[in-house]
Structure 1
Amino acid sequence: MKLLHKIVHTSAPQATVLVRLLVGCVFLSEGIQKFLFPQALGVGRFVKIGIPAPQFFAPFVGVVEIVGGLLLIVGLLTRLAAIALTINISVAILTTKLPMLAKAGFWATAREARVDFCMLLGSIFLLIVGAGSLSVDRRLDSNTE
């Protein structure tokens, strides 16, 4: 119970739900689109950017984004979901935005990376503060006290 308490405990304000919804909905949408548009956003994109084993990693990343996004939206195991999504978006930035920086320069990359950096910072924020009081985590936490 002590580990669960550390994972779900939150003293963040109710407004944290807005960050959860923002980050969760974007990841959920991106994950679904990897399956709806596999050539442009799934396996085909992973092949184009040189991700190894794209037939495995594209669906894997899609599932991580869908499950992680849903967990954030409801506020369940928010910190664990935020860890997975922070890793996910960090890899996305390293494999797509850093090469772009060398080719297109700072301003073009900054424009293309704006959503990625918002998702990274939003995920890190949720990792630090937890789900907030309007969440399943808060209800779980009150049961472990």
Structure 2
Amino acid sequence: MKNVEIGALILRVVLGVTFFIHGLVKFQGGIENTVGWFASIGLPGGLAYAVAIVELVGGLALIIGLGSRVISALLAVLMLGATLKVKLAMGFLGNGQGAGYELDVALLAMAVFIIINGSKLLAVDQRFGKRQKSVAESV
């Protein structure tokens, strides 16, 4: 087992847990609050549902290793959007009234790592991939 795969597993699971919790909180706190906040910053309120679902379902998918590269790409887009639309004006560490974009950049970097390198260790994708290979070999 390579150290890179162990590192990728850690990044994948931590990224997945982080986004899963963020998505869950959006629904637990009342998604309508998030819808209203999106509208207040000039984004379509309905986009809040899409973001929350991508965070919740995408986070879970990352944890189990299902579609890790695609999910990471979606999450990277969310982080770019959050940074450029909301956090950039607050600065890297924040402005005393709100958080900065340091966490967004860290999550973006984790997602980009997974997009580039993948994460196969303990991933559901690997189980499906091995099955497909063995079926193809037997034909």
Q: TM-score, normalised by structure 2?
A: 0.80
Q: Deviations over 1:76-103 (max 9, x none)?
A: 11111111111111111111112324xx
1:8 aligned residue: none
Identity of aligned residues (%): 31
The one-letter amino acid of 1:108's match is G
Higher percent of residues as helix: 1
The correspondence for 1:108, drawn from 86, 94, 98, is 94
In structure 2, the CA distance between the partners of 1:144 and 1:14, relative to structure 1 (3 Å rule), is: farther
Match of 2:23 in 1: 31
Please tell me the root mean square deviation across aligned C-alpha atoms, in Å.
Answer: 2.1
1:134 aligns with 2:122: yes
Normalising by the residue count of structure 1, what TM-score does the alignment of the two structures yield?
0.77
Q: 1:129 to 1:74 in 2, by over 3 A?
A: same
Task: Figure out how many residues of one structure are paired with residues of the other and give that number.
Answer: 127
Match of 1:17 in 2: 9
Q: Is 1:84 the counterpart of 2:63 in the alignment?
A: no
Deviation at 1:107, TM superposition (A): 4.3
Matched letter for residue 94 of structure 2: A
Q: Which has the higher contact order (CA 8 A, sep 6+)?
A: 1
Task: Spell out, residue by residue over 1:4-30, the C-alpha distance to the aligned partner (whole angstroms, 9 max, x if none).
Answer: xxxxxxxx5133221111100111111
Q: Which has the larger radius of gyration?
A: 2
